[in-house]
Amino acid sequence: MQMLIFTKNGCLAPGDYTMTRDQIEDSVLIHNPEREHWDESWRLSLLNNFYRLATELWQVGIEDIFLDGSFVEEKDHPNDIDGYFVCDFKRFISKELHRELNRINPDKIWTWSHSEMVKVSSVGKRVLPMWLKYRVELFPDYPGSFTGIQDRHGRALGFPEAFRRCRSGRTEKGIIKLIKEDSSS
């Protein structure tokens, strides 16, 4: 298993870390004895919610799922988990993917429509319905998709690039690629 460490700015050290749910659970992202107020139970709850949604993505054939947000930062009590998944543009734009996922999820939270986002004053932003239920936001990444985030030169960033930068945008950080458990073990 790859060792996860935080840099001095509190971000996960740069790199792509390919991990199973169990490996994440056994990592510093859940258990951090160096931090007195590290909220293991909250972090585990977020991971379980993320995994539930990732399982739904796997059920519809999505394989590349990435975990990010304050969960992969050295914060005692992260606000949520952000992430993205790689999907086919036509499947997304036709809303076929939305329909498939909402057939699986009893709460019908799979949407990326701005009109369905909800303003949450406690976090000071609009969030997707999945955030309200799970405190997780997973965004589709397909050729031509952008995050709404720009680099310091004003260039629009896609999810792979934006999610591998610290909040300041100046330094690189690590990201987790979730993989299914090996069923042969």
Is residue 1 predicted with pLDDT exceeding 70? no
By mean pLDDT, which of 36-45, 52-61, 115-124, 166-175 is the weakest?
A: 166-175
Which of the four pLDDT bands, split at 50, 70 and 90, describes residue 171? confident
Cα 45 from chain centroid? 14
| Residue 174 token pair | 């690590």
Task: Enumerate the domain spans of the chain.
Answer: 15-178
| pLDDT tens digit sequence for 69-88 | 899 999 999 999 999 999 99
Q: How far apart are CA 54 and CA 72, in angstroms?
A: 17
**169, pLDDT greater than 80:** no
pLDDT at 185: 47
Average pLDDT, the chain: 92
Mean pLDDT, residues 14-26 taken together: 95
Distance CA 164, CA 173 (A): 5
Hey, what are 140's tokens? Answer: 């589709």
**Measured CA distances, 23 to 45, 49, 84, 91, 109 (Å):** 15, 16, 19, 31, 27
pLDDT for res 124: 85
Letter string b/e over residues 9-20, b meaning 16 or more CB atoms within 10 A of that residue's CB: eebbeeeebebe
Query: How large is the average pLDDT for residues 147-171?
Result: 85
Distance, CA of 177 to CA of 8 (rounded, Å) = 23
Helix (H) or strand (E) holding 68: strand 65-68
Whole-number pLDDT of residue 3: 78
